[in-house]
Structure 1
Amino acid sequence: MQIFQILNTQDTIISYAKKTIAEEAKAIAYLEELIDEEFSNAVETIHHSKGRVIITGIGKSAIIATKIVATMNSTGTPAVFMHAADAIHGDLGNILEDDIVICISKSGNTPEIKVLVPLIKSFKNTIIGITANKESFLGKEADYILHAFVEKEACPNNLAPTTSTTAQMVIGDALAVCLLHLQGFSSHDFAKYHPGGALGKKLYLRVSDITSRNEKPQVSPDSNINTVIVEMTEKRLGATAVTDNGTILGIITDGDLRRMLTTNTSFEGLTAKDIMSTDPKRIDDDAMAVDALEKLEENSISQLLAEKDGQYTGLIHIHDLIREGIL
């Protein structure tokens, strides 16, 4: 009986989840029919504006506004969030002469919006409204209306903002993407605003950024095996360069040590030059880290020696690239 109840509960939960997704998907699909010349004109107005985009709302719409602001800022459209309640208590000072204000409100008739919109109009700033009700106060007073109509909320009581906030977010995404295209915003531009993200690191992180933080294992060609093992153990990069006055002669890896142990009953008298791999794979210290990854993968190796002007500068390990999120 208990197992039956659990299965029945699981079926009910899955059913509710699928119904919610289906209802929101239907509402979002309908938005496509509402994209018209008014939307296009609003996008063109923002694109040609010399100011920023100020986005405001109340309640859940304010939360959506913050997300749209974040999306615009990361895609090349300067945007600022202004809470509608705070705006009528001093934050109107955020709005500059050339700024465009986007007001988000499902009903378009909230008290804060009714107070705020006339004040913005008195400043002569352009107002773009995102609302489900074109006949609302916001719908009639805004210079441009982006219609985010939804038939009903996914909430079974048709009360909690669910479908409507999803629709608002999608309209915001559509705005941001259209502006992105008009500006010719590229992946390189995106990386400028996301230097800490994986894409930013792929485009900007250099080998030197990694080697400068790593230990710099190196031994001379005449170093004994004990010295080699200690150097590799202390520097913890699984390898060491063999150098002579800074010039790379070879590399010794964990694999080289294992092969030495299988081919020699004693390593007394052996030196670094006896077991090193000559002509090791190397990369310029100024090269991009993503190029180092490509070279590591092409040669099925874990370490690369970095050099600058013929001088050894450090070692880069594939784990470094994994840690940085490049792989």
Structure 2
Amino acid sequence: MESKKSIIDSAIATLKLESEAILKLIDYLNDDFVEVVNAILSSNGRVIVTGIGKSAIIAQKIVATFNSTGTPAVFMHAADAVHGDLGIIQKDDIVLCLSKSGNTPEIKLLAPLLKLSGNKLVAMLGNVESDLAKQADLILNTTVEKEACPHNLAPTTSTSAQLAMGDAIAICLLEARNFQSTDFAKYHPGGSLGKRLYLKAGDIAAKNEKPSVSPDASIKDIIIQISKNRLGAVVVIDGDNVLGMITDGDIRRMLEKHSNLENIRAIDLMSTDPKKIDSEELALLALEIIRQNNITQILVTKEERYFGLVHLHDLLQEGIV
């Protein structure tokens, strides 16, 4: 069984080696890198990303990042490409080929075929003297001094470098396109991430009841409304006008101060300046307001009129928190 020190030391050495290799990529950012970004930006096609072995796995991640940030991309396995998958490539597509050595049999066979198609070939590789480098139109240099593997065999540092270079391209493209969080939401509609980016306060409030009482409502009527709707609050309205809001906390504080409740009305209890949010604002903003003010519910309005309530529990259920 390994000691704690030896395990931690090994992990530190790996992280240092890989982080240093990624920083070294800064020295490799040249005119070819700029041309790659501009070629993708001006292309009417997609980015076809290919590779073999561990590079193929990194290629799939780069494809996923491109697609989620507004750059259409497709993964093509280098081994399958020569058995029919070359048909994936369309005339306006740019091909990005990942390889550490640039000399594996599959890549040596594939590179000339890619050139025949007339598509721009970009090579992301760790050997700028390789067969792939000689075939490529543009080169992204991801050379590393050594793998983190003590035998310098298992792709570790080299794949980290490929991944980082892919991210660098994706972010350059994202910023050049002025890709916003609203755009990001279009590609991530599912799960809590998507909801944080597109779900509106009004979407949640619309699912709830709209508890309300008149200004002269009695304590009994107020408590019935709060209990009935399970939102911990009731809004005091006069016609279409919002006068204020009463929470269950307001009720408790009132009971501590008064023994005679007969003459107390909603207008005596309500907060005249409740925290509120427009129905078109993101639910995420509603959460921020709730957190900042240490409250559990927020009033939702539409065109300054009462639209509904959003409770902290609603945000929890939607996965916004």
**TM-score, L = length of structure 2:** 0.86
Tell me what 1:100 maps to: 94
Q: Does 1:126 align with 2:120?
A: yes
Out of 88, 98, 111, the position equivalent to 1:117 is 111
Q: CA deviation at 1:245?
A: 4.3
Q: Distance in 1 between matches of 2:165 and 2:139?
A: 11
Q: Does 1:317 align with 2:311?
A: yes
Q: CA deviation at 1:176?
A: 1.7
Q: Distance in 1 between matches of 2:307 and 2:50?
A: 52
- CA deviations over 1:50-99 (Å, ceiling 9, x no partner): 11101011121111011111222233221111122222233222211100
Tell me what 2:153 maps to: 159
Please list, as runs of the form range in 1=range in 2, the aligned pairs for 1:1-327 lying within 5 A after superposition: 9-195=3-189, 204-268=198-262, 270-278=264-272, 280-289=274-283, 292=286, 296=290, 301-309=295-303, 311-321=305-315
CA contact (8 A) 2:182 2:198 kept: no
**Which SS does the other structure have where 1:109 is aligned?**
coil
**Counterpart residue type for residue 95 of structure 1:** I
Q: CA deviation at 1:290?
A: 5.2
The more displaced of 174-183 and 253-262 is 174-183
Q: CA deviation at 1:184?
A: 3.5
Q: CA deviation at 1:143?
A: 1.5
Q: Distance in 2 between matches of 1:277 and 1:183?
A: 46
Do the aligned partners of residues 315 and 174 (structure 1) sit closer, same or farther apart at CA in structure 2, a change above 3 Å counting? Answer: same
- CA deviations over 1:224-262 (Å, ceiling 9, x no partner): 433422322232221111234454333211121112211
Give % identity. 56
Q: Distance in 1 between matches of 2:179 and 2:12?
A: 36
**Counterpart residue type for residue 276 of structure 1:** M
**TM-score, L = length of structure 1:** 0.85
Q: CA deviation at 1:136?
A: 1.9
Q: Distance in 1 between matches of 2:32 and 2:272?
A: 68
Q: CA deviation at 1:160?
A: 1.1
Over aligned residue pairs, what C-alpha RMSD do you find?
A: 2.9
- CA deviations over 1:181-221 (Å, ceiling 9, x no partner): 43343445444434558786566443212211233222344
Q: Distance in 1 between matches of 2:304 and 2:124?
A: 61
Q: CA deviation at 1:312?
A: 2.2
Q: Distance in 2 between matches of 1:309 and 1:36?
A: 53
Gaps of 5+ in 2: none
The more displaced of 285-294 and 175-184 is 285-294
